[in-house]
């Protein structure tokens, strides 16, 4: 399908130039293919998400295939918490995510984001926001969390939209006396991120992570004392 117009020019062209032209063309094609391939490999989905997805998101590999990066969920969110990943973001380009510490999910009961999704990447089967699984909260700062220091900050517990179920205070005893430890029930926590958002420390001691990252994934080996 080469241009008809260039065909005539080629007749008059010296042999050497034609060879160069061919080499350049092949080089060009090789460059395009390499760049393209690399961009794709770079954006390959990690096994687990490294960012928090909107409620109802399919497991990461399926989500990455199903989401067509349209941003309808982003526009549907009344609190404007969702972003489409840019090139420099840690998620595949164009997929929606949110950052708990900046703006957590408010757990709308009608889940407008999932309703807006045309592809089912945010599953239409999720109808109860309390069953959503965006991630899970993990108290990572055992040395910085104020409750571990014997105070009763408990902000993370008090702000939780499913207070008492997803997170509650559990007393433990140590040399300083009785400590009230914010304890997450991973089966009830939706990963909305509200606790992380409101942690009073400069950097949150409680983090909301995608489930696989927060809880780890069991390997094939049997573990424990058996």
Partner 1 sequence: MRQLQAMFFRNRWLFSRRIIQLLIIAAFTVELPAGGYLAQGNLSSSVWFGIGLTDPYIWLQSLLAGAPLGKAALFGVAIVAVFYLLLGGRIYCSWVCPINLVTDLSYWVRQKLNIKSNFTLSKNIRVTILMLSLLLSLLSGTLAWEAINPITLFQRELMWGSVAGATVLASIFLFDVLVTRRGWCGHVCPVGAFYSELGREGRLRVKATQVGACGGCAKCIKVCPEPHVLAPVIAKKATFVTSGDCTRCGACLDQCSTGALAMRLSFKKQGKFKGIPVVGGH
What is the number of alpha carbons within 13 Å of residue 164 lying toward its C-beta? 0
- Report d(CA 94, CA 2) in Å as an integer: 35
- Report d(CA 54, CA 74) in Å as an integer: 9
Out of 52, 139, 153, 192, the only residue in the binding site for ligand SF4 (CB under 6 A) is: 192
Residues 9-48 that bind ligand SF4 (CB under 6 A): none
Q: How far is the CB of 67 from partner 1 (least distance, A)?
A: 8
Residue whose token pair is 């391939």: 37
Q: Site size for ligand SF4, by CB under 6 A?
A: 41
- Both structure tokens of 25: 């063309």
Out of 17, 25, 149, 158, the only residue in the binding site for partner 1 (CB under 8 A) is: 25
N-to-C CA span, the chain: 70
Q: How far is the CB of 82 from partner 1 (least distance, A)?
A: 13
For 66, 134, 141, the CA distances from 213, given in Å and listed in that order, are: 22, 12, 16
**Among 22-30, 131-139, 183-191, 202-210, which window interacts with partner 1 (CB under 8 A)?**
22-30
- Report d(CA 136, CA 45) in Å as an integer: 20
Residues 141-160 that bind ligand SF4 (CB under 6 A): 160
Out of 92, 179, 191, 210, the only residue in the binding site for ligand SF4 (CB under 6 A) is: 191
Residues 34-93 that bind partner 1 (CB under 8 A): 36-37, 39-45, 58, 61-62, 64-72, 75-76, 84, 86-88, 92-93
Which residue, among 114, 149, 125, 155, has the nearest Cα to 137 in the 3D structure?
A: 155
**Among 27-35, 102-110, 159-167, 206-214, which window interacts with partner 1 (CB under 8 A)?**
27-35
Per CB under 8 A, 24 contacts partner 1: yes
Contacts of 157 (CB under 8 A, 6+ apart): 163, 167, 168, 169, 182, 195
Residues that bind partner 1 (CB under 8 A): 1-6, 21, 24-25, 28-29, 32-33, 36-37, 39-45, 58, 61-62, 64-72, 75-76, 84, 86-88, 92-94, 116-121
């Amino acid at each position: 399908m080469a241009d008809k117009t260039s065909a005539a020019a080629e007749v008059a062209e010296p042999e050497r130039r034609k060879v160069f032209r061919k080499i350049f063309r092949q080089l060009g094609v090789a460059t395009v293919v390499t760049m393209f391939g690399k961009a794709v490999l770079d954006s390959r989905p990690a096994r687990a998400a490294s960012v928090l997805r909107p409620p109802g998101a399919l497991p990461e590999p399926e989500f990455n295939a199903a989401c067509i990066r349209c941003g309808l969920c982003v526009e549907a969110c009344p609190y404007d918490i969702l972003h489409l990943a840019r090139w420099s973001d840690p998620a595949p380009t164009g997929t929606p995510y949110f950052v708990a510490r900046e703006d957590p999910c408010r757990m709308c009961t009608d889940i407008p984001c999932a309703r807006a999704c045309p592809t089912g990447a945010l599953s239409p089967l999720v109808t109860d926001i309390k069953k959503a699984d965006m991630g899970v909260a993990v108290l990572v700062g055992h040395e910085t969390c104020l409750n571990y220091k014997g105070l009763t900050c408990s902000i993370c517990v008090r702000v939780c939209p499913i207070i008492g179920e997803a997170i509650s205070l559990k007393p433990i005893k140590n040399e300083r006396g009785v400590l009230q430890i914010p304890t997450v029930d991973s089966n009830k926590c939706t990963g909305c991120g509200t606790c992380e958002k409101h942690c009073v420390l400069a950097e949150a001691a409680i983090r909301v992570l995608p489930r696989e990252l927060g809880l780890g994934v069991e390997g094939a080996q049997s573990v424990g004392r058996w």
